[in-house]
Structure 1
């Protein structure tokens, strides 16, 4: 029920209807609060901390998922290819607000968050989670002193941490209706400063209002694997003709479903709440030959015995695809910093 309500609210935020107009005065108050916070920083009343290494901030102003996690993984991989030693800090949905925790391969997603766990597994670099990103960054550098660049997964509004590069992400929804919360989907105005703008959307799709210099990103499906038997591989095309249920507990599940439809699959949709808490019962009543899940959901499902042993469940990994020149631009910028 909550997932349905959230989806309805996001749809309402894509246009300037009755709901948006009703909350517009409140959104202007929200904007004043944002400007007040920034003013305190500019006047020196709010302190900021610079870490000993460059910080790359990856975030969005559109509430909900826009594809940050695949981009963070891609950035970490590109930095490693360039000879760097990156580390990642994140808030970690569901992680303890009071402590700083290192994310390990055997960490529980319920304790460190599903996205940080996926980043640690895919990027194979140190990951620390905690609400205080300055403290998380310091803990990472203390534990891994060879780290020479930190990627912050989200945290654009965490102004206490000085960032050297800001990457602002959008998807095909762009700015929505252009209003700030609660009249629209934006945490900050669309004119917010940034060093780079990344658009996660199909090629050829243009989005108005997000800027002129846009880096294009696409999510490309990788080889599928069976959750119970990871050595069993497949492709989306080989799944055609099967009775399929596609499940997604991510911020914008329609993007995932559209990718599956583009591969020629027909399936029943199961849109779950972002960061959905899976249980033994989640898929028990589903009558399907194949259940396709996202890699983000898989890090939680593999920690539940009944789901881990369900041979119907197949994981659909995706990888971000961007122009290699983008990585070179980031490397140049952090070298100058």
Structure 2
């Protein structure tokens, strides 16, 4: 049985266990807010990009959008990440485009590769990482990656990302009865909500958005990830196919939280459904055995940027050992861009709202 469906089936039985978990998380947040549990106070604005539940809600692309904005504004931005799946070592790790994904984790490495002027710091204890960054990097802005429940670093704003199902059957469905890490009361901390929705879907969600989120009194923005091009995984594998239709037969490889969304995006991008869809767990650490199994398909591979940073060293090693591999199995990487759609409960698009927020807070040092 599909895991989300299994959760939905078992939810009535698991709901009693969700209540004490929700209460513990509420108490934990209260202890941080009153200062009983200590937290690091940044000397510059700090914004958290996080979600209320687990699953692919688009945190890394939104973090990337903020990094691009900071670069254009001439600001030094530092991302603080726990580096899920990585092993940074005993001290905070400053990630470069050449850092191993085994050290950095896939998402921090992706951010370092796509935003080389930014500073990505990985360490499980992000308060210590923030102190390191303030001393050595002199940031203008901190971005807490997946930071809504990471309360050991104070923030000036919480950008809370939601999935459509968070507004329907997953609403207030706290672990283990659902995917939420906290109860709905935590949403009062949001400065704004961002919902990942395809542009054509957004109008149909207006009523649900109004019903569920209006009580929190914060603006709501929709966004999507639109891919119009692909790029070669490795230099020298050939010119990217002309799109749409350049990839007429290919295998899709995903190790992400929402593989179905990537499948739909790939079909829209190429004009044809993947011949094969190889689904791996989110943050999967690809192995040589995985790559040999994919090579046995004898067709081009299409993957996400998040998977590309882990596949690249394996494909490079295999191509050196078997030079014909790029002819038999060229690997293409989708190039998604954040596109903002309709917005609700506010008067302006997200880019304008964020610029206004920055102007109002760039000199403030008192977090929420």
Contact 1:58 1:153 in 2 (8 A): yes
Closer, same or farther in 2 for the Cα pair 1:321/1:99, shift >3 Å?
Answer: same
Q: C-alpha separation between the residues in 2 aligned to 1:98 and 1:22?
A: 41
Contact 2:92 2:129 in 1 (8 A): yes
Closer, same or farther in 2 for the Cα pair 1:71/1:303, shift >3 Å?
Answer: same
- Give the Å deviation of 1:306: 4.1
Specify every segment of 5 or more residues in structure 1 that has no aligned partner in the other structure, as ranges. Answer: none
In the comparison of the two structures, how many residue pairs are matched?
326
Return the match for 2:332 from 299, 314, 318.
314
Q: C-alpha separation between the residues in 1 aligned to 2:166 and 2:250?
A: 31
Q: C-alpha separation between the residues in 2 aligned to 1:81 and 1:334?
A: 18
SS of the equivalent of 2:245 reads helix
Closer, same or farther in 2 for the Cα pair 1:188/1:250, shift >3 Å?
Answer: same
Return the match for 1:10 from 4, 18, 35.
4
Return the match for 1:274 from 282, 288, 304.
282
The equivalent residue for 2:309 is 299
Closer, same or farther in 2 for the Cα pair 1:22/1:226, shift >3 Å?
Answer: same
Q: C-alpha separation between the residues in 1 aligned to 2:318 and 2:142?
A: 34
Contact 2:41 2:153 in 1 (8 A): yes
Closer, same or farther in 2 for the Cα pair 1:114/1:85, shift >3 Å?
Answer: same
The answer on 1:177 being equivalent to 2:195 is no
- Give the Å deviation of 1:89: 0.9
- Give the Å deviation of 1:235: 4.8
The answer on 1:261 being equivalent to 2:267 is yes
The TM-score with structure 1 as length reference comes to 0.89
The answer on 1:234 being equivalent to 2:246 is no
Closer, same or farther in 2 for the Cα pair 1:272/1:110, shift >3 Å?
Answer: same
- Give the Å deviation of 1:262: 2.3
SS of the equivalent of 1:224 reads strand
Specify every segment of 5 or more residues in structure 2 that has no aligned partner in the other structure, as ranges. Answer: 341-348
Contact 2:86 2:102 in 1 (8 A): yes
The equivalent residue for 2:213 is 211
The answer on 1:135 being equivalent to 2:147 is no
Contact 2:86 2:106 in 1 (8 A): no
Say which structure is richer in helix.
2
- Give the Å deviation of 1:239: 2.6
